[in-house]
Structure 1
Amino acid sequence: MSGRSARPGPGAVLAVIAVVMLVNLPLTHGWWTSWRLDRAGLEVTAEVVETLEVAPGNEPRHWVTWTLPGARGEQARQWSGEVDPATYAEAERSGTLLVETLPGKPQVNRPVGRVDRGVGLWTTALADLALLAVVGLWWFVGRRTGGALTLVAASAVERAAPAYSVEELDAGLWLVRGEVVTFDDDEVVLDVGSGRRVRIVLDGNDNPVGYQQSAQVIGRLL
């Protein structure tokens, strides 16, 4: 198992952007559809297939299922949506429902009198908050890998007996002993005990030590 740097690179940033777009796509598409219907929607009279009244708590909710004009047989596509009480009562009485649809695109439609409870908005907002929390944690962990001390290696990283220390030597040099927690081609981060981490910029020096192995290195303050 290798331990790579926790800092997000360009690929990771693009991945986060892609996830944000996917999470928000349904809500964005819904807004775009509503905007198109507001501008160019035409009202047609749909046939009511089913009505349903449900009562969560003390607030009844009314659902209507409909087919558009011209739909015939068992294969006729059906849509369902929540409507206000007046629209529901009229749908039950007449067996019809006014529906807005786009010319030439009957699949884009909504009932007149629709009730929008903003479930999609709240769901998307919660998903965005969860994603923000993950990204924040990711950033925090990435910042922690920088440690309180950053050194430029003055020698190659060496395998060593298990030890945790940071010692100041002569001529501005430091000797660091600890366990490798992350590494890549340019740097290595050592856990030096008590929750402290030290980042070593390799500056061309070798690092033959792997993840969770004990190491030591001499370096200068960056």
Structure 2
Amino acid sequence: MNRFAASRRAAILMVVALLLLFTLPAALSVWNGWRLDEVGVSTEATVTDTNAVPKAKPTQFFVRYTLPADADPRRGAYIARVSESAWQDAKASETIEATYLDGKPGVNRVVGQVHSNFGLVMTVLGDLALLAMLALALKFRPARERQLVLLATADVVRARPGFAVEEHGSEHVVRGDVVKIGDGEIALHVGEGKEVRVVLGEYRNPVGYQQPAEVRGRRFTP
């Protein structure tokens, strides 16, 4: 794999990781909501405080509450934004109906709770932006380099291990490992995921598979 391909793959993996990072909280919220609908346990929560924020337009209403000890042994305090009617009922009775997951009391909701779509909208917009980045990365990826094809001008010879592609006038000298042996041609691996195809013509190849070799030849268009 060459450096361009490695960089492109790293960029794609980064975008996928960011997609998961942005999407998981929203997906978890939807999952918890579905679980509360299906297996949630209803109980009467104790309202410890009520608060209205008149500066918000429209006015926003909040309740602070705790679940019963048998539902939440730690007696955690929770805050929820609710409708005005639910807020008035909670303020008058100092109780509010709540639904929670057995064993996970932190996952709960109360009657009249108001859910904001802001987080979902931001998640969708973030995902769309990341998908656009991914599409651009795929569209404008570096053009694949054409394979070098040589017509041999001498017999293939054994060489020391190593990779090289050198141009000497009209000839190329190529050193690498033999990775393909075909009918009248071979292919040498010359590093960075690149291969050079060599058409032997009248010349011989005495070098075996996966052995280092050197070949001279002229650029050839099949």
Same fold, judged at TM 0.5 (above):
yes
Normalised to the residue count of structure 1, the TM-score between the two structures is: 0.60
Q: 2:53, 2:219 → 1: CA distance?
A: 71
Q: Secondary structure at the match of 1:53?
A: strand
CA deviations 1:40-91 (Å, max 9, x no partner) are 22221111222222246531111212111128xxx74111111111111112
Alignment of 1:146 with 2:153, yes or no, is no
Q: 1:48, 1:80 → 2: CA distance?
A: 10
Residue identity over aligned pairs, in percent, reads 31
Structure 1 counterpart of 2:95? 96
Q: 1:6, 1:221 → 2: CA distance?
A: 25
Relative contact order, higher structure (CA 8 A, sep 6+): 1
Structure 1 counterpart of 2:182? none
Q: 2:75, 2:101 → 1: CA distance?
A: 18
Alignment CA distance shift 1:221-1:59 (3 Å): farther
Q: 1:19, 1:60 → 2: CA distance?
A: 35
Q: Secondary structure at the match of 1:5?
A: helix
The answer to whether the 8 A contact 1:151-1:220 is kept is no
Q: Secondary structure at the match of 1:115?
A: coil
Instruction: After TM superposition, list the pairs within 5 Å mapping 1:97-136 onto structure 2.
Output: 97-136=96-135
Structure 2 counterpart of 1:164? none
In the alignment, which of 183, 193, 197 is matched to residue 186 of structure 1? 193
CA deviations 1:132-175 (Å, max 9, x no partner) are 12212221331xx217x84536496559xxxxxxxxxx9xxxxx
Normalised to the residue count of structure 2, the TM-score between the two structures is: 0.60
Alignment CA distance shift 1:27-1:51 (3 Å): same
Q: 2:137, 2:88 → 1: CA distance?
A: 52
The answer to whether the 8 A contact 1:99-1:109 is kept is yes
The answer to whether the 8 A contact 1:46-1:66 is kept is yes
Alignment of 1:203 with 2:199, yes or no, is no
CA deviations 1:1-36 (Å, max 9, x no partner) are xx8215744x76555444322321111111111111
Q: 2:122, 2:52 → 1: CA distance?
A: 24
> Aligned pair count?
165
Alpha-carbon shift at residue 221 of structure 1 (Å): 6.0
Structure 2 counterpart of 1:82? 81
* Structure 1 residues not aligned, in runs of 5+: 160-169, 171-183, 188-201, 206-217
Q: Secondary structure at the match of 1:203?
A: strand
Q: 1:157, 1:141 → 2: CA distance?
A: 27
Alignment CA distance shift 1:151-1:55 (3 Å): farther
Structure 1 counterpart of 2:206? none
Alignment CA distance shift 1:105-1:220 (3 Å): same
Structure 1 counterpart of 2:26? 27
* Structure 2 residues not aligned, in runs of 5+: 152-163, 171-190, 199-217
Alignment CA distance shift 1:46-1:157 (3 Å): same
Alignment CA distance shift 1:219-1:128 (3 Å): farther
Alpha-carbon shift at residue 128 of structure 1 (Å): 0.5
Q: 2:138, 2:221 → 1: CA distance?
A: 24
Q: Secondary structure at the match of 1:122?
A: helix
The answer to whether the 8 A contact 2:90-2:96 is kept is yes
